[in-house]
């Protein structure tokens, strides 16, 4: 998994010296400036190394605004980017100009934020100016650090403080060797316990062909392809429901419980019976949970001779895939594997798919790569409505598990569903995201206009 560096974001009204400080911080210590052909955002992201610690520096002054974008809007976008991305925020102000209304406006955005904010007062070219910097304590958001981006005064001290505050790793980074938690879900009798038994190669659980036989959910740990999988089995339906609704209730309830603990849902379907409404309800649960997802179309031996269950697509398989794609379009991202628990066939391929889906679920893209992609996508197909053009100033991945992207734009109303779909497709084309849901949030300056949509 790619190492995700901590992020330090510079914010501040125009002309306080963001670009100058950015260049100074990146300056000779620069390791890599991500190259962004076609888009003039060279000063937006860079990697900085100080005392052996590395971080990504983002200069919100490098976000390209148009002339007609109001300053208040720009300030809110900057703050939004900082709050979404930063591990440390450098709030840049100007000692020469003193405290301004725009500083207050920006400070307002950070009140109550959990991200540490350092008030960096630039243009402190001499000791007299250092004294002027004290005025900025009035903002009440953090300690004040006088620097001169132009001369380099105070910059080393600032960097000492910054690297001290950096987290070791991003909160959502996963150690490389963590077990993969897979919820085996599906209607009663589709073969969930048989699958688990086949995976383990031993009859650890009682398999019965009576739907709803009393069994408890058991975790089983197996190894495959050098990875550890924890199979969370939901076969156990506590009691046989006389009323259809009771069985349904336990089925749904247990599937939900298992999925909560899992990274990936393996949805087992009885391939001989075909897709039923119960299957669809289970699939909906998996989709709503926002976890990685793989289909195991089980009992395929009844449909076709197993002899190793080659991955080759027969007409029967193609038909089954078509039914699933047509009936459950929400889960287009989930791969479909064919299995026979009875014949122990197709089991390794389905685990391979789980592994891929799990990797996709934890996928992370760098801000530079993402902005390049989105910049190109918007350039290739601009969107406007009622004479207003959608502008996406900045894109960032705010989460993994599942990958979640925030697009900072001029107006969320312009971020039309069809355009979101277009960008999602671009993202899916560019990155290995098969098997996982992907989310996009559009965000403008006003919090209450936030949109949180799942795909
Ligand atoms: P930005 O709009 O916040 O990115 O600001 P710039 O980095 O473009 O700087 C705005 C102006 O302030 C430029 O003319 C810089 O030369 C000047 N400036 C930046 N840093 C300093 C500094 O430390 N001292 C002085 N005296 N001027 C500075
Ligand atoms: P669960 O309720 O989903 O855990 O399903 P079980 O594992 O208890 O299986 C239900 C019935 O289906 C049992 O009679 C199994 O022997 C049978 N079964 C399970 N997997 C397969 C398979 O791959 N092929 C065939 N032919 N039968 C299977």
At 352-376, the pLDDT tens digits run 999 999 999 999 998 888 998 999 9
2-172: which CATH topology?
Answer: Rossmann fold (3.40.50)
Mean pLDDT of 182-211: 75
Please write the tens of the pLDDT for every residue from 178-189.
789 999 999 889
Residue 340 DSSP symbol: B
Closest residue by Cα to atom 9, ligand 1, is 17
For residue 170, the model assigns a pLDDT of 52
Ligand nearest the Cα atom of residue 152: 1
Report d(CA 263, CA 11) in Å as an integer. 36
Q: How far apart are CA 273 and CA 261, in angstroms?
A: 29
Tokens (6 digits) for 334: 């989930």
The region that residue 191 occupies, defined by phi over 0 for left and psi between -120 and 50 for alpha, beta otherwise, is left
**By percentage, how much of the chain surpasses pLDDT 70?**
83
Q: Is 218 in the pocket of ligand 2 (CB under 6 A)?
A: no
Cβ distance 271 to 320 under 8 Å? yes
CA distance 285 to 267: 10
- Second-level CATH architecture of 180-361: 3-Layer(aba) Sandwich (3.40)
Query: Average pLDDT in the 18-28 region?
Result: 84
Mutate which of 13, 15, 22, 147 to test ligand 1's pocket (most atoms within 8 Å of Cβ)? 15
pLDDT at 120 exceeding the cut of 90? yes
Question: Ligand 1 pocket check: which of 10, 16, 20, 149 to mutate, most ligand atoms within 8 Å of Cβ?
Answer: 20
| pLDDT: which is higher, 3 or 383 | 383
Q: For residue 218, which ligand has an atom nearest its CA? A: 2
Asked if 369 contacts 362 with a C-beta cutoff of 8 angstroms, the reply is: no
Report the pLDDT value the prediction gives residue 247, as an integer from 0 to 100.
65
Position 236 pLDDT exceeds 60: no
Top mutation candidate among 206, 213, 269, 341 for ligand 2, by most atoms within 8 Å of CB: 341
Question: pLDDT tens-digit profile of 312-354?
Answer: 788 999 999 999 999 999 999 999 999 999 999 999 999 999 9
CA distance 82 to 75: 11
Confidence of residue 253 (pLDDT cuts 50, 70, 90): confident
In sequence order, what are the beta bridge partners of 342? none
- Tell me: pLDDT of 308 over 60: no
For residue 402, cis peptide bond before it (omega within 30 degrees of 0): yes
H-helix segments, 46-153: 71-85, 101-110, 127-133
The reported pLDDT for the residue numbered 3 is 57
Q: Which of 92-101, 302-311, 417-426 has the lowest mean pLDDT?
A: 302-311
The tokens for 198 are 């086949």
pLDDT(217) > 70: no
Q: How far is the CA of 312 from the centre of ligand 1 (A)?
A: 64
Among the bound ligands, the one closest to the CA of 298: 2
Which atom of ligand 2 is nearest the CA belonging to 209?
14
H/E run at residue 60? none
Neighbours of 146 (CB within 10 A): 26
Answer whether 267's CB lies under 8 Å from 282's CB: yes
Average pLDDT over residues 422-436: 97
**118 token code pair:** 């350092």
Which option is the CATH number for 367-454: 1.20.1250.20, 2.40.128.50, 2.40.50.1040, 3.30.300.20? 3.30.300.20
Average pLDDT (7-27) is: 90
**More reliable by pLDDT, 208 or 115:** 115
d(CA 124, CA 151): 9
Ligand 2 pocket check for 194: Cβ under 6 Å: yes
- For ligand 2, is residue 192 a contact (CB within 6 Å)? yes
Strand segments (E) across 256-383: 264-270, 292-298, 335-338
Residues 6+ apart with CB under 8 A from 130: 95, 124, 146
Which of 12, 17, 18 has the most ligand 1 atoms within 8 A of CB, as the residue to mutate? 17
CB atoms closer than 10 angstroms to residue 4:
17
Pocket of ligand 1 (CB under 6 A): 12, 14-20, 61, 122-123, 125, 148-150
Asked if 29 contacts 79 with a C-beta cutoff of 8 angstroms, the reply is no
Residue ranges matching CATH 3.40.50.300 in the chain:
2-172, 180-361
Least reliable range by pLDDT among 20-34, 60-74, 210-224, 353-367: 210-224
Q: Which ligand is nearest to the CA of 278?
A: 2
Ligand 2, atom 13: nearest CA belongs to which residue?
209
CA 93–ligand 1 middle distance (angstroms): 10
Distance 437 CA to ligand 2 centre (A): 29
Query: How high does pLDDT run on average in the chain?
Result: 84
- 21 φψ region: left (φ > 0), alpha (ψ -120 to 50), beta (else): alpha
Record the pTM: 0.77
Q: What is the mean pLDDT of residues 193-214?
A: 62
Strand duo 292-298 + 144-146: pairing? unpaired
Question: Out of 130-134, 181-185, 252-256, which region has the weakest mean confidence (pLDDT)?
Answer: 252-256
What integer pLDDT is reported at residue 91 of this predicted model? 96
User: Is residue 40 predicted with pLDDT exceeding 60?
Assistant: no
> What's the DSSP call for residue 83?
H
Q: What is the mean pLDDT of residues 266-283?
A: 94
Give ranges for CATH 3.30.300.20 in the chain. 367-454
Residue 451: pLDDT band by 50, 70, 90 thresholds?
very low
* Ligand 2 proximity of 234 Cβ (cutoff 6 Å): no
Which of 231-235, 434-438, 449-453 shows the lowest per-residue confidence on average (mean pLDDT)? 449-453
- 353 within ligand 2 shell (Cβ under 6 A): no
The sheet with strand 392-399 has its strands ordered as 392-399, 404-409, 439-443, 451-454
């Amino acid at each position: 998994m790619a190492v995700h560096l901590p992020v330090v974001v510079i914010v501040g009204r125009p002309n306080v010296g963001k670009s100058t400080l950015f260049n100074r911080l990146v300056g000779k210590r620069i390791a890599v400036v991500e190259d962004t052909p076609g888009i003039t955002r060279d000063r937006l992201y860079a990697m900085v190394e100080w005392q052996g610690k590395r971080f990504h520096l983002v200069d919100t002054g490098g976000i390209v605004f148009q002339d007609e974008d109001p300053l208040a809007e720009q300030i809110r976008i900057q703050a939004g980017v900082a709050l979404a991305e930063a591990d440390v925020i450098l709030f840049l102000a100007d000692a020469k100009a003193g405290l301004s209304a725009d500083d207050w406006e920006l400070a307002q955005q950070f009140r109550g934020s959990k991200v540490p904010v350092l008030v960096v007062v630039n243009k402190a070219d001499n000791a007299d100016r250092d004294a002027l910097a004290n005025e900025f304590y009035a903002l009440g958001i953090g300690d004040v650090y006088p620097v001169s981006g132009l001369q380099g005064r105070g910059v080393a001290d600032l960097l000492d403080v910054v690297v001290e505050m950096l987290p070791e790793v991003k909160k959502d980074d996963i150690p490389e060797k963590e077990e993969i938690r897979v919820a085996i879900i599906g209607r009663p009798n589709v073969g969930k316990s048989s699958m688990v038994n086949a995976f383990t190669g031993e009859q650890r659980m009682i398999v019965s062909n009576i739907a709803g036989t009393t069994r408890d959910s058991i975790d089983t740990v197996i190894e495959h392809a050098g990875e550890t999988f924890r199979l969370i089995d939901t076969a156990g339906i506590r009691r046989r429901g006389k009323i259809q609704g009771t069985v349904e209730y336990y089925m749904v309830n247990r599937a939900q419980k298992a999925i909560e603990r899992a990274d990936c849902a393996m949805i087992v379907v009885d391939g001989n019976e075909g897709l039923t409404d119960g299957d669809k309800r289970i699939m909906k649960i998996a989709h709503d949970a926002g976890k990685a997802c793989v289909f195991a179309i089980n009992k395929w031996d009844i449909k076709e001779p197993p002899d190793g269950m080659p991955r080759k697509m027969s007409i029967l398989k193609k038909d089954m895939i078509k039914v699933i794609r047509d009936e459950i379009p929400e889960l287009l991202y989930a791969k479909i594997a064919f299995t026979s628990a009875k014949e122990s066939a197709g089991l390794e391929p389905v685990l391979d798919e789980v592994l891929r889906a799990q990797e996709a679920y934890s996928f992370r893209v760098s801000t530079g790569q993402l902005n390049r992609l989105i910049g190109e996508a918007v350039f290739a197909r601009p969107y406007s409505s009622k004479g207003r053009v959608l502008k996406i100033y900045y894109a960032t991945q705010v989460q993994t598990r599942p990958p979640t992207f925030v697009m900072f734009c001029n107006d969320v109303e312009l971020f039309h569903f069809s355009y979101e779909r277009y960008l999602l497709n671009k993202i899916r084309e560019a990155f290995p995201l098969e098997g996982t849901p992907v989310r996009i949030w559009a965000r403008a300056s006003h919090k209450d206009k936030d949109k949180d949509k799942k795909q």
